[in-house]
Structure 1
Amino acid sequence: MTASPAIDRASLRRRALGLSLALWAFIMGMLWYAGTINTVEEVPPLQLWLVRLAWMASGFALGWLIFRILEWSVENTSIGPITALVALVCVFGAFHTVVNSLLYFELAGATATPLQHVVAIVYWLHFQLAWGVLILTLVMGAQAKAEREGRLMAQREAQSAQLDALTFQVHPHFLFNTLGAVSSLVGEEQFEKGEAMVRKLAIFLRRGLRREANEDVTLEQEFADLAVYIDIERIRFEGRFEFRAHLDAGVRDALVSGFLLQPLVENAIKYAVAPSKRFVTLDLSACRAGENVEISLVDDGPGSSNSHGLGTGEANVQERLRARFGDNVSFDAGPRSAGGYAVRLSFPYQRAAMEADGEEMPA
């Protein structure tokens, strides 16, 4: 299982650095515009600005230290981030402001009163606290994003595992039936038919082995896979059914899970063709309906009202659709009033990155 996404620390630190530089550039501009704070004419301008630059550099360094502590504390301690922020800003900010004030008045040859220290602390703390709130917002936002991505990843992995299980359910079932048919043909000494069926089976399985268990394919590819499967069934039920497939141009590039439709066609062969003593027609079509893809499989076989619902075919397809698209699918199956059986399903149209033109598959 893939590890949950971690906070993108490089991006977070770049943004924190940018905010810090912006804050101190603003303060520098404000001081430049104001000239001096508590101007003392005896302080030479060069020394005054050297003190300010030292104050700003040390303030930037302390601010970066606060950021790194917050970044660590959000993930590694039970202390509330707001509590940590207020404590850090008050302690470091007050210390920084008092030291700066002492240095400034020392340079000016004056003595600051306690009230002046308090005023300086209150005045500058609101800048540092505002900066701290912005930084905390960045840290918490990055953590929330990482947690959200972790939940989405876990959800996708669970969905993928479910689709894998459902896909693995299809191939053994089909393979068992086909090998049983090959065995019957060999037992009846119909060696050429048995050999032809094995060749077609190899082609069909090779297509499946080239993909991941739940890899998406286009409907055009899905219909091509079905054509190979139908070739196998034509050998089994020679001259007993016709398969007609039509794929509208507008959905040739629509994405579906691989081998999604094969269980439905296999069901139709099993319940409409196999028990029938007359010729059976199977019609498969896919078209665009607004934002959805609609697919229908209709047969005119003698199947009873509940026969097609047996086995794993329809249930497998429904579960795979819901695992992929959630509640944005519809699935309807049942006997037709005119005889036979119909399956209709609809799911959201998701386009593959390819161009497609209309084409009707050969029977």
Structure 2
Amino acid sequence: MFTSLFARRFAWGQLLLWGALALLTRFTWLDVRPPEWIWIFSYMALGALFSSLLFVAYQPILRWHVAAQLAIALALSVVAGLAWRASFNALEYHVLESANNQFHFWGYFHNGKSAVTQLLLWSCGFWLWHYQKRTQLQSKQQEKLQQQARDAQLKLLQFQIDPHFLFNVLASVDTLLLKKDSNTARNMLNKLSSYLRHTLTLEPPLTQPLSKELMRCRHYLDIEKMRFADTLSIEWHVPESLPQVTLPTGILLPLLENAVKHGAAAQTSHSSIGMALETQPHSLIIKMSNPCASLSAAKNINNNKGTGMGLYNTKQRLQTFYGNSATLAYGQQGDLFIVTMTVPL
């Protein structure tokens, strides 16, 4: 059953089509005397009627094979065209009395070829419209499936990150307890409890504003700074005014975890973790740095040794979310290991 909106659109389309043909017939007639309006409107009204019947007849076969659709459309167009012409010829002869010839049986199909041709053209237009709409629908469904697959992959990667962060913090608490620093361990657990209360939900969002992502990172660094006490400092070069951009949830945490693990935790002296943001006309650049005393340590990070998900996971998430519009570059510069993430604004 057609919706009222679709029925109205079809009715208006029929009215415009056959009305336009009526005007063309009246004002482009090649003979000296054009046909009367009653003749034109009778002919066009029957054309609209039989084309509407074709529209109804085509509905049950919309999902059939294309060859069957074309064969049935051809046959029905021929039948409908002949019926249209026969009805009009009978009307013209018996009611309008404008025909001069005495109609025999086959005479009722006089000029049937033109009516069949017109309905064949109408049917071509209908099926072209149908195939275009079907292609658009399939394209939208394909995009929806691709989006669902992408969302599922992002969620899978995200669910890998949250437990990893939790395990790192618990390992820090365990280290503090081994050092018998119960006060610091208690404070760290309080911070962790507060952090989890504000960030973890039953259905974590796939994306979140940059401000919330940075707040998440700051919480993590504060917790780790408690672990390393005076041997770790944070260089936080983040402007107060942030661009209105969203990031995949937790995209920065693995990078900071690597910075702490391969930077601060690997150093015997004081170390510093850096976080800096730079906004360009069409992109946002996020840089993170940590001490890297030797080239072998940098190679371990590049090879993803000991990081679990680390850089590889982050690269996968960026590729899944942004395609080729985002990049992740990293390498050693002097005694620092620098990771640079570029995402579109």
Would you say same fold, with TM above 0.5? yes
Residue 208, structure 1, aligned to residue 199, structure 2: yes
Contact persistence 2:86–2:112 (CA under 8 A)? yes
**Which stretch of structure 1 is more off in the superposition, 117-126 or 269-278?**
117-126
- Larger relative contact order (C-alpha < 8 A, sep ≥ 6)? 1
Instruction: Measure the CA separation in 2 of the matches of 1:65 and 1:71.
Output: 10
1:25 paired residue number:
19
Instruction: Measure the CA separation in 2 of the matches of 1:244 and 1:345.
Output: 17
CA 1:250 to 1:12, structure 2 compared with 1: closer, same or farther past 3 Å?
Answer: farther
Contact persistence 1:286–1:295 (CA under 8 A)? yes
SS of structure 1 residue aligned to 2:286 = strand
Residue 16, structure 1, aligned to residue 38, structure 2: no
Q: C-alpha displacement at 1:31, in angstroms?
A: 5.9
Instruction: Measure the CA separation in 2 of the matches of 1:241 and 1:218.
Output: 27
Instruction: Measure the CA separation in 2 of the matches of 1:28 and 1:278.
Output: 92
1:273 paired residue number:
264
Instruction: Measure the CA separation in 2 of the matches of 1:119 and 1:249.
Output: 83
Residue 282, structure 1, aligned to residue 273, structure 2: yes
Instruction: Measure the CA separation in 2 of the matches of 1:120 and 1:261.
Output: 76
Amino acid aligned to 1:101: N
User: Paired residue for 1:88, among 59, 76, 79?
Assistant: 76
CA 1:299 to 1:173, structure 2 compared with 1: closer, same or farther past 3 Å?
Answer: same
CA 1:16 to 1:319, structure 2 compared with 1: closer, same or farther past 3 Å?
Answer: same
Could you tell me which runs of 5 or more consecutive residues in structure 2 were left unpaired when the two chains were aligned.
none
Q: C-alpha displacement at 1:249, in angstroms?
A: 6.9
Q: C-alpha displacement at 1:212, in angstroms?
A: 4.0
1:325 paired residue number:
322
Residue 127, structure 1, aligned to residue 118, structure 2: yes
Contact persistence 1:98–1:121 (CA under 8 A)? yes
1:146 paired residue number:
137
Contact persistence 1:16–1:138 (CA under 8 A)? no
1:315 paired residue number:
312
Amino acid aligned to 1:328: S
CA 1:343 to 1:134, structure 2 compared with 1: closer, same or farther past 3 Å?
Answer: same
Query: Structure 2 matches for 1:56-71, cutoff 5 A?
Result: 56-71=44-59
Q: C-alpha displacement at 1:266, in angstroms?
A: 0.7
Instruction: Measure the CA separation in 1 of the matches of 2:191 and 2:324.
Output: 36
Amino acid aligned to 1:171: D
SS of structure 1 residue aligned to 2:268 = coil
User: Paired residue for 2:232, among 241, 248, 262?
Assistant: 241
Instruction: Measure the CA separation in 2 of the matches of 1:101 and 1:251.
Output: 77
1:306 paired residue number:
299
2:223 paired residue number:
232
Amino acid aligned to 1:66: L
SS of structure 1 residue aligned to 2:235 = strand
Contact persistence 1:207–1:225 (CA under 8 A)? no
The count of corresponding residues between Structure 1 and Structure 2 is: 333
Q: RMSD of the TM alignment (CA)? A: 3.2
Query: Structure 2 matches for 1:98-117, cutoff 5 A?
Result: 98-107=86-95, 108=97, 110-112=101-103
1:347 paired residue number:
343
TM-score by length of 1: 0.80
* Identical-residue share of aligned pairs (%): 20
TM-score by length of 2: 0.84
Amino acid aligned to 2:298: S
Q: C-alpha displacement at 1:171, in angstroms?
A: 0.9
Q: C-alpha displacement at 1:157, in angstroms?
A: 0.6
Could you tell me which runs of 5 or more consecutive residues in structure 1 were left unpaired when the two chains were aligned.
1-7, 350-363
SS of structure 1 residue aligned to 2:230 = coil
SS of structure 1 residue aligned to 2:48 = helix
